[in-house]
Amino acid sequence: MILTYGLSLQAQDQNFDANWLFFNDKAAGAETSDFDDSQWRELDLPHDWAIEGPFDIKYNARAGGLPFHGTGWYRKHFAMPQRAEGKVVRIEFEGAMYNAHIWVNGQQVGHRPYGYIGFEFDISQYLRYDGSDNVIAVRLTPEPLSSRWYPGAGIYRHVWLKVDEPVHVAQWGTYITTPTVTDAKAVVQNETQVVNKSDQGKTVTVRQQYFDPQGREVASIEEQIVIAAQSTATAASYVNVANPQRWDLDTPHLYTATTTVLDGDQVLDRYESRFGIRSIRFDTEGFYLNERKVRFDGVCLHHDNGALGTAVYRRAIERKLQIMQDMGINAIRTSHNPPSRELLELCDEMGLLVLDEAFDVWKLAKVENGYNKFFDEWGEIDLRDMILRDRNHPSIVMWSIGNEIIEQSDTQKGWTVAKKLNDVCKTTDPTRPSTAGFNWYPAPYDNNMAQQVDITGINYKPTKYSEVRSNYPRLPIYGSETSSCTSSRGVYHLPIEKYQTHESLQVTSYDLIGPPWAYPPDVEFYYQAQNPYVMGEFIWTGFDYLGEPTPYGGKDNSTNGRWNSDWPSRSSYFGAVDLCGFPKDRFYLYQSQWTDEPMIHLLPHWDWQGMEGQNIPVYCYTNCDEAELFVNGQSMGRKVKGQNKTTLIVDFLRYEPKTFDSPYRLSWDVPYQAGSIRVVGYKDGKAVQEKEIRTAGTPAKISLSVDRAEISADGRDLAYVTVRIEDKDGNLCPNADNLVNFDVKGAGKLIAVDNGNAASTESFQAPYRKAFSGMALAILRSDKQAGRIKLKATGEGLKSTSVTVITK
């Protein structure tokens, strides 16, 4: 199919995602215009070819057991009208995984190896403007052992075709800062780069207009600049905005700057930038947003979207962030790479702080085909481009130059690399501090690496906070990775014990198991409270993610990167939320510390047939003052949070005691008897919350619930359907693993299924799924025609049901 792109008199960016052709293998000559691609698969971007599977041990469990490496080709046919000739035509890729090479009409226009960074090329000189066929070809060659987790594959973020006059605003061309912010006035500074691709010098007017969150113009200014031929000039200006509406966590107000480039009355370019008016500062006592001290209650997040793979869906990212906000978070660490544009836009809109991270590796390798192969040539370029792309986002408060970099142990040269990267941060955006995540204390401090960044992130060393403070009193610190606790949703192993791995390939949800460096969340809560100058924490991780199935499969940065010894364990157990987005018990432990609205949570399930009379440890997570447990209506006693402690078994590096008395959990030992357990939470002596769990009967029916009853008919919007196996009375059957079949009719498709089981090789794209701990997930995607999507779920011996989603 040849698509013709219409052009208005003004410059425009056009989404270029539709109607690509894909081939997943080597294809000699596929870069040429006359290559026969008639048998290739037609699809729309973004696209992750690897998530389609199948799972196989040969693909390495460390990276998710999915076929993300090899060669993939994408081609697109399109026509350009004659009136586009003489304009500047650019192609922008927001992300392509990885080692992208781009051709237009058989001519190579460029390449970019790092799969996480956006890039663009000027393709004007390679195009035909007579309405005939143009072909863009993209070759990707991701390699095995290129990542410590599942990186995905393909053109997994959006593509844009940009058509401009020779004089236009540069890529990521505005830099908007707010050097002064008071209640009465904000100074908004704007440095705009304007490119002149013509062979003549130009004098142009740059008009800056500013609009408040309600769309009202609040300031404007014009400036004339002279741009020499084939060069770039900067228009620098500032305006005062009266009574600014500040961007903050609870009030994420966003302003818009419209930059118009004029030659007399002719509009050459119009460029919009969103920004927020806010102030940030850091010192050794903490982080301050709008002069208010704020603690990071944060999570680390990888970039995949579970069963959807790495392909960018705005709704998938929005849902992920909403679930995290329900847990109580206020901050995201983009672990360990530049994030999608959508994530940053959503954090701006939702009031979330962002630690924007560039790299997991520098020169020294963690896996054999990692980014270290490209770092010398591309490291500073990629970091600078990340900052240029992202620096107008008010949500971003720190630039991270790396995570657990192997150079921490380099006594001579490691610090010099850190200094170069820090210098890039300072020259590109001096308004935000630099940071990095260090896990080999005291080596990076002894080797002068930690001193090269403004704020030091400390990974998994809560017991060392006071020592770092004492030895380096001028270095601000925070927990850049914390806890690393692992668990499987709905799984409870008795008796409670601290084991390395379990024969089931699952991990108990009593929230105490982890790898050697890991510890229960309670330990971090305690040491953060003891050291209030620590700026907060980013837990590892908010969501489960594909690959790196710790504690199964291997050791970090060892076993040559191959983690297949516990196959089919193939994805993370670290999340407070599973791969489906279903909360684990740990979600509520964090919620009990990070939220104020009264809440209470109870675990485990209450189906222990054959264990009648045996003691079952019952835990309660709450932010109430007290909680009282009832078993079949009989009180087991009221307990006070903070006073009645729960002894946890712990065993992690650099921690001598083998137990920790947690003031953050309440617990009772209860002789099992079928029926119900119920907990009541009290504040100021009044009952404010309760939770009851009943012993379930035989699985009898399927229950469906959808996250949104209406979605957009745009071909990209999603509806998430939660599937529960219940008894006849509506109680969840916590051990059910029934097979559920799905049938979809109407204005949408079933695009993914999952159940949160990290040790399953069931296809994410099959029209069926077994339940895991009684639950599963179905994801629907709209078509481009409005209507209704009806999902029917059936299972042998179960009462079927259906749910309908309206698309508009």
Domains of the chain: 3-164 (2.60.120.260), 167-275 (2.60.40.10), 289-594 (3.20.20.80), 600-694 (2.60.40.10), 701-807 (2.60.40.10)
Would you state the torsion angle of the CA atoms of residues 194, 196, 201, 204, taken in this order, to the nearest 10 degrees? -40
Going by pLDDT thresholds of 50, 70 and 90, the confidence category of residue 557 is low
* Tens-place pLDDT, residues 18-27: 999 999 999 9
pLDDT at 10 over 90: no
Three-state secondary-structure class, residue 103: strand
* Tens-place pLDDT, residues 674-689: 999 999 999 999 999 9
| Cα 491 off chain centre by | 26
What values do phi and psi take at 725, rounded to 5?
-95, 120
Question: Which amino acid is present at 160?
Answer: W
pLDDT at 287 over 50: yes
- pLDDT for 592: 98
The average confidence (pLDDT) of the chain is: 95
Alpha-carbon distance of 456 to 18, in angstroms, equals 44
Q: What tokens appear for 619 in the block?
A: 């835990």
Alpha-carbon distance of 98 to 100, in angstroms, equals 5
Other C-beta atoms lying within 10 Å of the C-beta of residue 220:
15
CA distances (Å), origin 708, targets 315, 445, 473, 581, 713: 11, 49, 50, 15, 13
Would you state the torsion angle of the CA atoms of residues 273, 274, 279, 283, taken in this order, to the nearest 10 degrees? -80
390 burial class (0-12, 13-18, 19+ CB within 10 angstroms)?
A: buried
* Tens-place pLDDT, residues 368-427: 899 999 999 999 999 999 999 999 999 999 999 999 999 999 888 999 999 999 999 999
* Tens-place pLDDT, residues 265-285: 999 999 999 999 999 999 999
- pLDDT for 562: 76
Gyration radius of the chain over CA positions: 27
Q: What is the DSSP string of 573-627?
A: ---SB-TTS-B-HHHHHHHHHH--S--EEEES-S--TT-TTSEEEEEEEESSSEE
Bridge partner list, 167:
196
pLDDT at 34 over 60: yes
Average pLDDT, stretch 501-517?
Answer: 95
Nearest CA-CA partner of 208 in 175, 183, 182, 181 = 175
- Site of tokens 């806010």: 278
What values do phi and psi take at 271, rounded to 5?
-135, 130
pLDDT at 474 over 70: yes
* Tens-place pLDDT, residues 753-783: 999 999 999 999 999 999 999 999 999 999 9
Nearest CA-CA partner of 720 in 315, 128, 258, 113 = 315
Would you state the torsion angle of the CA atoms of residues 629, 634, 638, 644, taken in this order, to the nearest 10 degrees? -60
Q: What is the DSSP string of 265-333?
A: TEEEEEEEEEE----EEEETTEEEETTEEE-EEEEEE-S--GGGTT---HHHHHHHHHHHHHHT--EEE
Q: In this structure, is the dihedral angle defined by the CA atoms of residues 207, 208, 210 and 215, taken in order, positive or negative? A: positive
Going by pLDDT thresholds of 50, 70 and 90, the confidence category of residue 123 is very high
Average pLDDT, stretch 225-243?
Answer: 97
| Cα 128 off chain centre by | 39
Going by pLDDT thresholds of 50, 70 and 90, the confidence category of residue 3 is very low
- pLDDT for 612: 96
CB 62 within 8 A of CB 554: yes
Angle 394-434-151 (CA atoms, 0-180°, nearest 5)? 80
CA distances (Å), origin 39, targets 36, 42, 75, 154, 335: 8, 9, 12, 19, 38
92 burial class (0-12, 13-18, 19+ CB within 10 angstroms)?
A: middle
- pLDDT for 559: 54
Going by pLDDT thresholds of 50, 70 and 90, the confidence category of residue 807 is very high
Average pLDDT, stretch 496-523?
Answer: 95
% of residues, the chain, pLDDT over 90? 95
Strand order in the sheet with 12-15: 12-15, 159-164, 88-93, 119-122
Half-sphere exposure of 225 (CA within 13 A, CB side): 26
Catalytic residues: 404, 481
Alpha-carbon distance of 625 to 182, in angstroms, equals 38
CB 435 within 8 A of CB 415: no
- pLDDT for 560: 63
- pLDDT for 4: 38
* Tens-place pLDDT, residues 572-613: 999 999 999 999 999 999 999 999 999 999 999 999 999 999
pLDDT at 203 over 80: yes
- pLDDT for 554: 78
Output DSSP code: residue 571: B
CB 307 within 8 A of CB 313: no
